[in-house]
Amino acid sequence: MKDVEKLVDTLDDPHQQLYHQFMDESDKTQQTKRDAIHKTVDGMSVDAQGQFAKISAILTNPTLPEEERWNRILTIYGKLEPSLRNEFEEKFKPLV
């Protein structure tokens, strides 16, 4: 990201403004999505919230390679009780 910022600094003012506008809009969009996810998780059962916390920790771990990250998530999801799996699918379906 630092390399991108350095490159942006070499652009003329209108293009720098366009880049910063894009980044601001992107940040707002991401925050809106995060808020929707947090609201959804708050409405889930305690067991589902616990499993979501495990998945979230894996997703946000920058030290894990992408393939390992998804393998761990699939392992957790595959071991979920059917009722929890259904709860995840039901709650998150509107967000996808």
For the chain, which residues make up each domain, given as ranges?
Answer: 1-42, 46-96
Q: Which of the residues in the chain have pLDDT under 50?
A: none
Is the model's pTM score more than 0.75?
no
pLDDT at residue 43, rounded to an integer: 94
The structure tokens 């998804």 sit at 70
Q: How many CB atoms lie within 10 A of CB 87?
A: 19
pLDDT at residue 2, rounded to an integer: 82
pLDDT at residue 96, rounded to an integer: 79
Let me know: does 91 contact 43? Beta carbons within 8 Å: yes
